[in-house]
Amino acid sequence: MTDTQNAPLKGRRVAVLLGGPSSEREVSLVTGEACAAALERLGAEVIRVDAYRDVADKLKAAQPDVVFNALHGEWGEDGCVQGVLETLGLPYTHSGVLASSLSMDKAKAKAVLAAAGVPVPGGGLYDRHQVAADHVMPPPYVVKPNAEGSSVGVFIVSEGANRPPAEVGLDSWTYGEEVMVEPFVRGLELCTTVIGEATGPRALTVTEIVPTTGWYDYTAKYAAGGSEHVLPARISPEIHERCLRIAERAHTALGCRGVTRSDFRYDDINDLLVLLEVNNQPGMTPTSLVPEQAAHTGMSFDALVLWITEDAYARGVAGGRAD
């Protein structure tokens, strides 16, 4: 085996953006470190960049060949950092400015997806004080920030609940003046990874998520033992295929590139499958779903990180932004 095969990224400088100012900082630090370690195993010279508002200055000093964006949440995956990277002329991983902005804005993403024929829940945006004061729809329903991830700030209002979530009306609420309220869809929690290859997006498989904490909240997503991942999901071949095709359609409709993860709810009693959201920069932590699905299809963690990085670099070369 040659040195190039042992170290396919030898001679490549990769800046890994991690941490940042969002509420998902801790998750991003874990994702970023895991990806940085993989890049080093692949032979790259890695510069870890804790990405705050001075990120442009840090990147100018680092002079990377490509940027691996491992940020999560506001500013890091909503089009803001992507705009900085476009201005600097640096190739970067995951989706571009528009697709990132759309994917992060739940209301706008839902409108685009519905127009593309993707089944999504009902509901809409409401003033947070109105939601805190009274039920805006009959329970059960879900209240969530319009532009956050990792289940941050999400409340499930159970059937028969007397009161709405008062927390969204407090002065300490920092997730926007409008919140998304959707009917709660009972049933299975499913997810599908899509890799946006040059020949078109390719969905990998379907995972069933069984939380041990009641529902798939922040703890269930990131704490060891917080949830059980059943892979492949315990669903019929027909529903499995529907998840794959819907995830690919959603990836395309939002204009995403690189890797995305689509999250579903499947009501097996009423045969209702809805897409909850598309994560345009899914987690790459030890408990994350995307690396697990990739491994299930024969792609190791390092191979996945290599594909994401080379995909970004190739787009930069094609766009005249890399040597």
Task: Name the active-site residue from 78, 189, 277, 311.
Answer: 277
CA-angle at 305, arms to 226 and 245, nearest 5°: 70
279 is catalytic: yes
12 is catalytic: no
Beta carbons of 206 and 235 less than 8 angstroms apart: yes
150 is catalytic: yes
Task: Name the active-site residue from 24, 65, 105, 217.
Answer: 24
277 is catalytic: yes
DSSP 8-state assignment for residue 92: B
Q: Do you find a cis peptide bond into 232, omega within 30 degrees of 0?
A: yes
Task: Name the active-site residue from 92, 222, 266, 313.
Answer: 222
Report the distance separating Cα 144 and Cα 126, nearest Å.
10
Question: What is the β-pairing status of strands 155-157 and 178-183?
Answer: unpaired
Task: Name the active-site residue from 50, 105, 263, 292.
Answer: 263
Beta carbons of 9 and 36 less than 8 angstroms apart: no
DSSP secondary structure string, 165-202?
A: -GGGGSTT--S-SEEEEEE---SEEEEEEEEEETTEEE
Task: Name the active-site residue from 261, 262, 313, 316.
Answer: 261
DSSP secondary structure string, 134-150?
A: S-SSPSSEEEEETT--T
40 is catalytic: no
Task: Name the active-site residue from 227, 279, 280, 288.
Answer: 279
Task: Name the active-site residue from 283, 292, 311, 313.
Answer: 283
Report the distance separating Cα 67 and Cα 150, nearest Å.
23
78 is catalytic: no
Task: Name the active-site residue from 22, 23, 69, 150.
Answer: 150
Residues with active-site annotation? 24, 150, 222, 261, 263, 277, 279, 283
